[in-house]
Amino acid sequence: MKNKTKYSKMDANLAIYLFKNKSKRNSVKVISLVLILGLCFTIIYPILSLVPIVFSSTEDLGNPNVIWIPQEFSTVSFKAAIRLVMPEGAMTMVKSILYAVGIMILQVFFSAMVGYSLARVNFWGRRIVFGMVILVFLLPRQSLLLAQYISFVHFDVLGIMNLFTKAGEINLINNPIVLVLLAVFGFGVNQSLFIFLFSQFFKNIPKELEEASLIDGCGFYRTYFRIMLPNAVPIISTVAILSFVWNYGDTYYTNYFNPNGEYMSTLLSSTFITANKDYILNALTTWYDVPVATDMAFDAVKQAGVLIFLIPLLIVYLVGQRKLVENMENSGLVG
């Protein structure tokens, strides 16, 4: 690459260097853009591909000529899904949301308390308690399912139940109070992780805040509720979003401890099992005068159900997502 024209050798080298640099930067940009677009596509493709299926009439399903735009627009799948998984109509969804919000509030309230105390109060055995939190986080909840289940079937606190019932125990399975108890005592969905996040956050709050409030005459509780909690809004919103999403979508606790409860998530997973396929297809043909209902109609109804189920989650996500990254940065987990 020798350039012997009017440019001096140095200028030529410089030009080559700049060109190389620029092309390098541009190619990196293009490659990463392609990767980003590809990943975005992979993430939304499963959702996108549902749209033509759930909106097309059941006869069109499996028609090789129909790929993206349904020949006949129809909402039969949605109607069927609503009838199947929402026995009380919109109330079922409202109830599920209220359940998730209730558990979320309990989880946030009690995890914040435990997290604060672990981070700021140097009580006896603090390290041990912190170790317990980590231990609970590490051991998968299923491993203790059996014993927990049995303890709820024969629920009895130190013989207190003798006063209320003859058998000296009550069966708490199918009683939503179990889920409340779990959330209050720090064993809800991923709650040890929330405690950990809270304690990491409170560790980074400057000590002066606490001292100032003490000098101004606040006690322990006032310091906590008036000074520390309002300062913890970022981590509270992060935990609240995660807690809502995980509780709304939870099938583990609801399924085992309250199997008859009408939560959207459990209803979805129990209705659309393969064993139920014929029943659902029959229902389709009798309810909506659909001439043919194939296996694909089953999938269409199922996925219409998922889309309905996802609506509240997507709303929460769209509202909270921007804050999520910023807040995580302040959470103290990093660095």
Partner 1 sequence: MEKSKTAKSGTEKGRKKLSFRTMWKIHGIIFVSPFLIGFVAFFLVPLVNTIYYSLNQVGVGDQGGMTFQWNGIQNYIDLFQTEVTTTSTTMARLFTEENSTMLLSLPLIVVFSLFMALLANQKFKGRAVVRLLFFLPIILGIDVVMDMLQVTTGSANLDTGSSLLSGSYVTVFLVRTLNVPRRILYPIMNYVENIFTLISQAGVQTLVYLTALQSISPSLYEVAKMEGATAYETFWKVTIPSIMNITFFVVIYTIVDLFLRSSIAEEAYAFAFTQGKIGVGSALSVVYILNVVLVLALAALLLRKVVKKNEK
Q: Does 244 bind partner 1 (CB under 8 A)?
A: no
Angle at 42 between CA 41 and CA 48, to 5 degrees: 70
The nearest distance, CB 157 to partner 1, in angstroms, is: 8
Q: What tokens were used for 87?
A: 């026995």
Spatial neighbors of 297 by CB under 8 A, at least 6 apart, are: 58, 61, 77, 281, 284, 290
Nearer to partner 1, 5 or 143 (CB): 143
Residue 277 touching partner 1 (CB under 8 A)? yes
| C-beta of 8 vs 177, nearer to partner 1 | 177
Interacting residue with partner 1 among 104, 133, 179, 239 (CB under 8 A): 133
**DSSP-based three-state secondary structure for 92:** helix
Contacts of 185 (CB under 8 A, 6+ apart): 110
Of 99 and 298, which CB lies nearer to partner 1 in the complex structure? 298
φ and ψ at residue 56, rounded to 5 degrees: -90, 155
Closer of 230 and 335 to partner 1 (Cβ): 335
Residue 90 binds to partner 1 (criterion: CB under 8 A): no
Q: How many residues bind partner 1 (CB under 8 A)?
A: 101
Instruction: Give yes or no for residue 72 binding partner 1 (CB under 8 A).
Output: no
Q: According to the binding rule CB under 8 A, does residue 220 interact with partner 1?
A: yes
Indicate whether 321 belongs to the interface with partner 1 (CB under 8 A). Answer: yes
Buried b (16+ CB within 10 A) or exposed e, 207-229: eeebeebeeeebeeeebbeebbe
- Candidates 51, 156, 296, 323: give the one binding partner 1 (CB under 8 A): 296
Which residues between 178 and 217 bind partner 1 (CB under 8 A)? 182, 184-187, 193, 195
Applying the rule CB under 8 A, the residues between 37 and 56 that interact with partner 1 are: 39-40, 42-47, 49-50, 53
Distance between CA atoms of residues 43 and 52, nearest Å:
17
Give the interface segment with partner 1, choosing from 14-22, 71-79, 131-139, 283-291 (CB under 8 A).
131-139
The residue written with tokens 């987990």 in the block is 333
| Tokens read off for 116 | 């604060």
Among residues 139, 177, 212, 233, the one that binds partner 1 under rule CB under 8 A:
139
Tokens at 147, concatenated:
């014993």
Q: Is 245 in the site for partner 1 (CB under 8 A)?
A: yes
Shortest Cβ distance from residue 6 to partner 1 (Å)? 30
Q: CA–CA distance from 2 to each of 5, 7, 55, 326 (Å)?
A: 9, 11, 65, 52
| Burial call 15-38: b when 16+ CB within 10 Å, e when fewer | eeeeeeeeeeeeeeeeeeeeeeee
Q: Is residue 302 close enough to count as binding partner 1 by CB under 8 A? A: yes
Among 84, 242, 290, 293, binds partner 1 (CB under 8 A): 242
Among 4, 122, 160, 291, binds partner 1 (CB under 8 A): 122
Task: Decide: is 71 part of the binding site for partner 1 (CB under 8 A).
Answer: no
CA distance 297 to 58: 6
H helices, E strands: number in the chain: 16, 0
Minimum CB–partner distance for residue 12 and partner 1 (Å): 22
- Cβ 274 to partner 1 shortest distance, Å: 6
